[in-house]
């Protein structure tokens, strides 16, 4: 059968491209089943089904993002105002958990000289105390406080009537010392025969 005979019989041209087949369908020509499911000149039902499937797949990440954002808000992980004092941290949602509510802090701790076997760190959880781990062979003496080898202690600041500062051993991470203004604190001591000096700032309340 010639190509012209296909046209006279109302049948599609077998050599036609997908776009031509679409045009022939619009003109009423009989395009046999099994033809292309994707037409360059339009959108088939198969394409619509694929689009719906893609939309549902892309919707899942959006749902997860929304859920994750909600969890961050509820857990108070979105911080709008940071502070070294946990009790002064402002966040969106419920307050951060953990039992840390201090409103004062110890800042800018310096230990001179630094010694590998001696660890002195700041714990600002509930007001600011020093945590000392003496792994040296010698006893650490910080004025009236003696910390034997292998001992761990927490130390709070105490201000004497004469304005001098000393450290006192405490059994928790709660600090009782709340100065009216920031205080520069220096404490001298010894580690065996070696002199050692601590310096830091104890803040006043950083928020109400």
Per-residue three-class SS string for 176-187: CCCCCCCEEEEE
The pLDDT value recorded for residue 59 is 56
Instruction: Give the pLDDT band (50/70/90) at residue 45.
Output: low
Asked if residue 204 lies in contact with residue 181, where contact means CB atoms within 8 angstroms, the answer is: yes
Instruction: List residues bridging with 191 in a β-sheet.
Output: 140, 194
Average pLDDT across the chain, whole number:
76
Distance CA 169, CA 80 (A): 35
* Residue 154 confidence (pLDDT) above 70: yes
Instruction: Give the pLDDT band (50/70/90) at residue 67.
Output: low
Lowest pLDDT segment from 30-39, 76-85, 132-141, 152-161: 30-39
Omega before 113 cis (within 30°)?
Answer: yes
The pLDDT value recorded for residue 2 is 47
The pLDDT tens digits of the residues spanning 109-128 come to 999 999 999 999 999 999 99
Domain boundaries in the chain? 1-42, 106-202
Helix, coil or strand: residue 59: helix
Instruction: Give the pLDDT band (50/70/90) at residue 157.
Output: very high
Instruction: List residues bridging with 154 in a β-sheet.
Output: 131, 170
Instruction: Give the pLDDT band (50/70/90) at residue 78.
Output: low
* Residue 28 confidence (pLDDT) above 90: no
- 79-89 mean pLDDT: 83
Burial state string for 45-78 with b = 16 or more CB within 10 A and e = fewer than 16? eeeeeeeeeeeeeeeeeeeeeeeeeeeeeeebee
* Residue 37 confidence (pLDDT) above 60: no
Distance CA 86, CA 126 (A): 8
Asked if residue 6 lies in contact with residue 14, where contact means CB atoms within 8 angstroms, the answer is: yes
């Amino acid at each position: 059968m010639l190509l012209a005979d296909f046209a006279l019989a109302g049948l599609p041209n077998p050599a036609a491209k997908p776009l031509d087949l679409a045009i022939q369908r619009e003109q009423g020509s009989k395009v046999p089943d099994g033809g292309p499911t994707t037409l360059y000149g339009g959108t088939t039902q198969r394409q619509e089904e694929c689009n719906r499937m893609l939309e549902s797949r892309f919707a899942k990440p959006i749902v997860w993002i929304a859920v994750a954002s909600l969890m961050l808000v509820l857990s108070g992980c979105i911080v709008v105002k940071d502070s070294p004092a946990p009790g002064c941290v402002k966040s969106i949602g419920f307050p951060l958990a953990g039992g840390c509510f201090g409103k004062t802090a110890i800042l800018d701790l310096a230990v001179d000289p630094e010694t590998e076997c001696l660890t002195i760190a700041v714990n600002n959880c509930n007001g600011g105390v020093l945590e000392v781990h003496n792994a040296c062979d010698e006893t650490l003496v910080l004025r009236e406080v003696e910390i034997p080898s292998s001992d761990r202690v927490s130390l709070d600041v105490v201000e004497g009537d004469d304005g001098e500062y000393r450290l006192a051993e405490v059994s928790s991470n709660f600090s009782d010392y709340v100065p009216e203004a920031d205080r520069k604190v220096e404490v001298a001591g010894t580690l065996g025969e070696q002199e050692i000096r601590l310096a830091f700032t104890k803040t006043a309340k950083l928020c109400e």
